[in-house]
Amino acid sequence: MKKFSIIAAVVLAAILGSCGNGTPKANLKDDVDTLTYAVGVAQTRGLKDYLTQRMGVDTTYMDEFFKGLKEGANAGDNKKKAAYYAGLQMGQQISQQWIPGISYEIFGDDSTRTVSLQNLLAGFISASTGKDCLMTPDEAAQTMETLMQTVKARVMAEKYGDWKKECEDYMAKIAKKDGIKELGDGVYYEVLTEGTGAIPVDTNKVSVQYEGKLINDTIFDSSYQRNEPAKFRCNQVIPGWTKALTNMPVGSVWNVYIPQEQAYGEREAGKITPFSCLIFKIELLGIE
């Protein structure tokens, strides 16, 4: 017997099995009836977890859930009711998944800010009906792609503006420090040990030891602490690293100062907050 989908199982469980107010009474006249009833009961395993985790149902209201489910199942092939129930289901997806998901994408863990449900519904319904829609689907897709990055960058700038300014001021001071040399694009370095070996190209795989810090001396990564060199291609790292590695002779040890534009920008990466300039001690051990 083919395994029933969880949706089918939920319907059967509501109509044929389980306990509670309004439960249909079983009438097991023959083997088929008994088999069907058994399917309904068996498929209730994991039901509450599915409802809470996948459908956002508060199990305090299970009677309401069963009431709605029986009503939907008893609608049969009534197309009008089927459309209504489909709208209810999609509406819940919008409120429980779309709106929270988009809000998190833009505002992160700031629960005080959210996108507009009204505007989302206005766009969805006007595009679906073809009435008074302000943009085509293709235009909407392009607008989404453009504005998502713009809005996220603005939100990050608002949240981390002070930190961004600190990092910019730090890089400005580094640029004036004695012994500092520039690699271009705002990346600076100072030589701790002068290497005499070959200089990698961006497609070379290299072996390095390194330590990465923020301007507040927070160490966010260190191969020295792992006691194991890192190995990767020069073009598989952030732009500031690629620029440094492709100018370092093997055997060199440099302190490298990378502005946020050549690092992770407005993105967050572990202990690295958005708009962070990064300080690396890099020891180029060899070219693989």
User: Has domain 165-287 been given CATH number 2.30.40.10?
Assistant: no
Q: Which of 64-78, 143-157, 194-208, 242-256 has the lowest mean pLDDT?
A: 64-78
The whole-model pTM stands at 0.62
Q: Identify the pLDDT of residue 62.
A: 83
How much is the mean pLDDT over the chain? 87
Beta strands in the chain (DSSP E): 181-184, 187-193, 205-213, 219-222, 230-233, 253-258, 278-287
**Higher pLDDT, residue 105 or 7:** 105
**Higher pLDDT, residue 239 or 130:** 239
pLDDT at 1 over 70: no
The secondary structure of residue 45, as a DSSP letter, is T
pLDDT at 14 over 50: no
Residues near 30 by beta carbon (within 8 Å), at least 6 away in sequence: none
d(CA 127, CA 105): 23
Q: Which residues of the chain form CATH 3.10.50.40? A: 165-287
d(CA 241, CA 208): 11
Burial of residue 36 (CB within 10 Å: 0-12, 13-18, 19+) is middle
The conformational region for residue 210 under phi > 0 = left, psi -120 to 50 = alpha, else beta, is beta
Q: Tell me the per-residue pLDDT of 19-39, one tens digit each, with 9 for 90 and over.
A: 444 667 888 888 787 877 787
Burial of residue 243 (CB within 10 Å: 0-12, 13-18, 19+) is buried
pLDDT at 55 over 90: no
pLDDT at 13 over 50: no
66-86: average pLDDT: 83
Q: Identify the pLDDT of residue 22.
A: 60
Burial of residue 7 (CB within 10 Å: 0-12, 13-18, 19+) is exposed
Residues near 124 by beta carbon (within 8 Å), at least 6 away in sequence: 94
Assign 50 to helix, strand or coil.
Answer: helix
d(CA 21, CA 65): 11
Find out whether 11 and 69 touch, Cβ atoms under 8 Å: yes
Residues near 15 by beta carbon (within 8 Å), at least 6 away in sequence: 24, 40, 69, 70, 73
d(CA 46, CA 33): 23
> Token match 């809470």: residue?
52
Q: Identify the bridge partners of residue 259 per DSSP, sorted by sequence position.
A: none
Find out whether 250 and 195 touch, Cβ atoms under 8 Å: yes
Q: Which of 42-56, 105-119, 147-161, 273-287 has the lowest mean pLDDT?
A: 42-56
Q: Tell me the per-residue pLDDT of 88-130, one tens digit each, with 9 for 90 and over.
A: 888 888 888 889 998 888 888 888 888 998 998 899 888 888 8
> Token match 């040890």: residue?
253
Find out whether 281 and 254 touch, Cβ atoms under 8 Å: yes
* The two three-digit tokens of residue 218, written as one number: 């927070």
Q: Tell me the per-residue pLDDT of 129-139, one tens digit each, with 9 for 90 and over.
A: 888 888 898 99
Q: Identify the pLDDT of residue 178.
A: 95
* The two three-digit tokens of residue 69, written as one number: 């489910």
Q: What are phi and psi of 51, to 5 degrees?
A: -65, -40
Q: Tell me the per-residue pLDDT of 249-283, one tens digit each, with 9 for 90 and over.
A: 999 999 999 999 999 998 888 899 999 999 999 99
Position 16 confidence tier, pLDDT thresholds 50, 70, 90: very low
